[in-house]
Amino acid sequence: MVKPALVDCLIGPTASGKSGLALRLAQALSLNHGGQAVEIVSMDSALIYKAMDIGTAKPTPAERSQTPHHLIDILEPEQVFSVAQFLDQAKGAIQAIRRRGNRPLVVGGTMLYFKALLNGLDDLPSAPISLRQALAAKAKAVGWPAMHAELQNHDPLTAQRLNPNDAQRISRALEVFLHTGVSLSDWIRKSQSKSEPEARDHALTATGLRVLALQPEDRAWLHRRIEQRFMAMLDQGLLEEVCQLRKRPGLSALHPSMRAVGYRQAWSHLDGEQSAPAFIEAGIAASRQLAKRQITWLRSFQDLHRLDPSTMSSAALEQRALQWWQADD
């Protein structure tokens, strides 16, 4: 019987095989624990959106009927979802699963969400979407390196750790400063100065998490999988999916949903800003950059059980994962 306070997590970079492994583990763990069913709690910032199925590699209806999934298709693409909202909804889903006598398995690669589960929230302010739109318009005119230089004037500590072309993070840091008059680095320092119990008030602390991380060390293996998956998404109708999304009157390229990897590049291509070959190259490159950032996050976390999926078959990976979880039950 699983320990009452324990939450199982499966994390890893994009295209590392998390979703398929999670489904196989859910079935195997359910069989091996006297009928205690496993329910998956998604930890993915794109799967939350409805009408975004192909580009997010969303579990199919058949897969979701086989194993219950939570935090999927909970928002319209026009809506915004914060880390705090994820933490509250994930906690609620986990508690409801336990009340049913079942076992929660948190699965995903959004590392900010995982950090919130692990350590709690940085107490950061939100900013109006109008400010984000104004910054995006300015960046289109002057370029993100120029926006990075502007951030350097307001918040040199944050600027120092960001790539001059990291549009999302530069925009977020400028939003915080321009909206509040206080730099992002000062907000983070203030948040981290709280006492540990206060900072972790809404977290599932490290002692309550049992984490399996897929961490492929063969970068070429991961790059091949990323390219294969992106091309498969195109064959399945990614561009047609984005065409339908563009018909929604309240949705623009500036919404967080459309900043997701693949969707951002598809929108730009459909705007005529990129040729088809350039769009494909940009989509694959963005996916690889995402994976690189996710692996950097993974390496910074302590007390994870790490498996390298690039060195073993899917059957061997499942067996190793089951052996570890069952040994710790």
- pLDDT tens digits, one per residue of 284-319: 999 999 999 999 999 999 889 999 999 999 999 999
Domain match, 109 and 207 both: yes
* Distance of alpha carbon 297 from alpha carbon 300, whole angstroms: 5
Q: For residue 70, is pLDDT > 80?
A: yes
What's the pLDDT score for residue 166? 80
65 and 208 share one domain: yes
Q: What is the pLDDT of residues 94-109, one digit of tens each?
A: 999 999 999 999 999 9
For residue 156, give the CATH number of its domain.
1.10.20.140
Q: Can you tell me the mean pLDDT for 141-158?
A: 92
End-to-end alpha-carbon separation of the chain, Å?
Answer: 7
Provide the pLDDT for residue 188.
Answer: 76
What value does the mean pLDDT of the chain take? 89
What pLDDT digit, counting tens, does each position of 160-190 carry?
A: 888 888 887 898 899 888 888 888 888 877 7
Same domain for 150 and 18 = no
In terms of domains, do 82 and 105 share one?
yes
Rounded to an integer, what distance in angstroms lies between the CA atom of residue 280 and that of residue 98?
43
Report the DSSP pairing between strands 209-214 and 305-307: parallel
In the predicted structure, residue 196 carries a pLDDT above the cut 60: no
Nearest CA-CA partner of 57 in 216, 177, 233, 200: 233
Q: Is residue 1 part of a domain?
A: no
Report the relative pairing of strands 209-214 and 103-108 from DSSP bridges: unpaired
206 pLDDT more than 50: no
Between 126 and 149, residue with greater pLDDT: 149
Q: Does 117 lie in the same domain as 138? A: no
pLDDT at site 122: 66
Statement to judge: residues 177 and 261 lie in one domain: no
E-strand stretches of the chain: 7-11, 38-42, 69-70, 103-108, 209-214, 305-307
pLDDT at 58 over 50: yes
The model's pTM is: 0.81
Do 312 and 229 lie in a common domain? no
Q: Let me know whether 39 and 110 are in one domain.
A: yes
Higher-pLDDT residue of 30 and 323 is: 323
Residue 138 lies in a domain: yes
My answer on whether 316 and 209 are in the same domain is: yes
**Residue showing tokens 């999926």:** 309
6-49 tens-digit pLDDT: 789 999 999 999 999 999 999 998 877 666 799 999 999 999 99
Residues spanned by the domain of 228: 221-291
The verdict on 230 and 138 lying in the same domain is no
Asked if the model's pLDDT at residue 5 lies above 70, the reply is no
Q: Residue 157 in contact with residue 49, Cβ under 8 Å?
A: no
Q: Is the pLDDT reported for residue 52 higher than 50? A: yes
Q: What is the pLDDT of residue 199?
A: 44
Same domain, 170 and 259: no
Between 121 and 147, name the one with better pLDDT: 147
What does DSSP assign to residue 181? S
- Residues 88 and 46 grouped into a single domain: yes
- Which strands form 38-42's sheet, in the order they lie side by side? 69-70, 38-42, 103-108, 7-11, 209-214, 305-307
The CATH number covering residue 41 comes to 3.40.50.300
276-302: b or e for each residue (b if 16 or more CB lie within 10 Å)?
A: eeebbebbbebbbebbeebbebbeebe
Instruction: Output Rg (C-alpha) for the chain, integer angstroms.
Output: 20
Confidence of residue 202 (pLDDT cuts 50, 70, 90): very low
More confident site: 75 or 168: 75
**Within a domain: 2:** no
Residue 15 lies in a domain: yes
Residue 156 predicted with pLDDT over 80: yes
Domain of 283: which CATH number? 1.10.287.890
Q: Is residue 321 part of a domain?
A: yes
Please say whether the beta carbons of 273 and 302 come within 8 A.
Answer: no
**Cβ-based burial of 178 (10 A; exposed 0-12, middle 13-18, buried ≥19):** middle
Count of helix runs (H) and strand runs (E) in the chain: 15, 6
Candidate from 141-150, 201-210, 317-326 with smallest mean pLDDT: 201-210
26 lies in some domain: yes
Which residue, among 161, 210, 208, has the nearest Cα to 325 in the 3D structure?
A: 210
Looking at the structure of the chain, the number of domains it has is: 3
pLDDT above 80 (res 116) = yes
In this structure, are strands 69-70 and 305-307 parallel, antiparallel, or unpaired? unpaired
For residue 251, pLDDT beyond 70: yes
Q: What is the mean pLDDT of residues 265-291?
A: 96
